[in-house]
Structure 1
Amino acid sequence: MEIDAFFSQYPLFTTEELDRFLAIKRTENAAPERLAQARKALLSYHKKAGHVLLVRRGLYATVPAHRTPAQQPVDSFLIASRLTPDAVIAYHGALALHGLAHSLREEIVVLSDQSFVNPLRFRGTLYRAVPPPRELPVSDALTLGIETWDRQGLSVRVTDLERTLVDCLDRPMLSGGWEEVWHSLEGLDAYLNLALLLEYTLKLRTATTAAKVGYFLSQHQERLRVPEGTLERLRAHRPKRAHYVLRDRIVGQVPGRAKFIPEWNLMVPTLLGEEAYEEILA
Structure 2
Amino acid sequence: MARKMNTLVLMKKLLELGDVFTIEEAQQQLRIDPKLLEYYLRALSKMGILKRIAKGIYVLSLEPGRFPSPHEFVLAQILVPTGAVAYWSALNYYGMTEQIPQTVFIQTPIKRGYRRQLSLDGKRFRVVVISPEKFFGVNTIRIGRRDVRITDPEKTVVDCLDKPKYCGGIIEVVKSLSNAILNYEKLLDYAERMNNKALLKRLGFLSEKLGLGIEDRVKLSEKDRKSFALLDPSMPPAGRFSYKWGLRINVPEDYWEEIE
Range into which the TM-score falls when normalised by the shorter chain? 0.7 to 0.9
Q: Using a 3 Å threshold, how does the CA distance of structure 1 residues 66 and 19 change in structure 2: closer, same or farther?
A: closer
Take 1:187 and 1:52, find their aligned partners in 2: how far apart are those partners? 43
Which residue does the alignment assign to 2:81?
85
8 A Cα contact 2:231 2:250, kept in partner: yes
- The amino acid of 2:245's aligned partner reads W
Take 2:253 and 2:53, find their aligned partners in 1: how far apart are those partners? 37
Which residue does the alignment assign to 1:5?
12
- The amino acid of 2:127's aligned partner reads A
Which residue does the alignment assign to 2:258?
none
Give the C-alpha shift of residue 41 in structure 1.
1.7
8 A Cα contact 1:102 1:184, kept in partner: no
Which residue does the alignment assign to 2:4?
none
User: Over aligned residues, Cα RMSD in angstroms?
Assistant: 2.6
Residue 202 of structure 1, aligned match among 192, 197, 215: 192
Residue 178 of structure 1, aligned match among 170, 184, 203: 170
Give the C-alpha shift of residue 272 in structure 1.
8.2
Which residue does the alignment assign to 1:241?
227
Take 1:125 and 1:266, find their aligned partners in 2: how far apart are those partners? 37
Residue 131 of structure 1, aligned match among 129, 132, 137: 129
Take 2:253 and 2:142, find their aligned partners in 1: how far apart are those partners? 36
Which residue does the alignment assign to 2:215?
231
Which residue does the alignment assign to 2:99?
103
Q: Using a 3 Å threshold, how does the CA distance of structure 1 residues 123 and 176 change in structure 2: closer, same or farther?
A: farther
Which residues of 2 match residues 34-45 of structure 1 at below 5 A?
34=33, 36-45=34-43
Which residue does the alignment assign to 1:29?
none
Question: Gapped runs of 5+ residues in structure 2?
Answer: 1-7, 256-260
8 A Cα contact 1:95 1:101, kept in partner: yes
* Partner SS for 1:109: strand
* Partner SS for 2:205: helix
Which residues of 2 match residues 154-173 of structure 1 at below 5 A?
154-173=146-165
Which residues of 2 match residues 263-282 of structure 1 at below 5 A?
263-271=244-252
- The amino acid of 2:63's aligned partner reads A
Percent sequence identity over aligned pairs:
22
Q: Using a 3 Å threshold, how does the CA distance of structure 1 residues 271 and 63 change in structure 2: closer, same or farther?
A: farther
Q: Using a 3 Å threshold, how does the CA distance of structure 1 residues 141 and 44 change in structure 2: closer, same or farther?
A: farther
Take 1:155 and 1:63, find their aligned partners in 2: how far apart are those partners? 20
Take 1:61 and 1:82, find their aligned partners in 2: how far apart are those partners? 12
- The amino acid of 1:91's aligned partner reads Y
Question: Gapped runs of 5+ residues in structure 1?
Answer: 27-33, 253-257, 275-282
**TM score, norm. by length of structure 1:** 0.76
Take 2:207 and 2:112, find their aligned partners in 1: how far apart are those partners? 31
* Partner SS for 1:155: strand
Give the C-alpha shift of residue 185 in structure 1.
4.4
**TM score, norm. by length of structure 2:** 0.81
Deviations 1:230-277 (A, max 9, x none): 42231426543332123367341xxxxx34334322222333899xxx
* Partner SS for 2:149: strand
Take 2:102 and 2:235, find their aligned partners in 1: how far apart are those partners? 27
Give the C-alpha shift of residue 215 in structure 1.
2.3
* Partner SS for 1:96: helix
User: Is 1:145–2:141 an aligned residue pair?
Assistant: no
Which residue does the alignment assign to 1:14?
22
Runs of at least 4 residues off by over 4 Å: none
Give the C-alpha shift of residue 82 in structure 1.
1.3
Deviations 1:206-250 (A, max 9, x none): 11111112223333445xxx4xxx422314265433321233673
Give the C-alpha shift of residue 106 in structure 1.
1.6
Take 1:17 and 1:101, find their aligned partners in 2: how far apart are those partners? 34
8 A Cα contact 2:226 2:243, kept in partner: no
The count of residues paired between Structure 1 and Structure 2 equals: 243
Give the C-alpha shift of residue 16 in structure 1.
1.8
8 A Cα contact 2:161 2:203, kept in partner: yes
User: Is 1:114–2:111 an aligned residue pair?
Assistant: yes
Which residue does the alignment assign to 1:212?
202
8 A Cα contact 1:102 1:180, kept in partner: no
Q: Using a 3 Å threshold, how does the CA distance of structure 1 residues 251 and 115 change in structure 2: closer, same or farther?
A: farther
Q: Using a 3 Å threshold, how does the CA distance of structure 1 residues 96 and 115 change in structure 2: closer, same or farther?
A: farther
Take 2:103 and 2:151, find their aligned partners in 1: how far apart are those partners? 17
* Partner SS for 1:156: strand
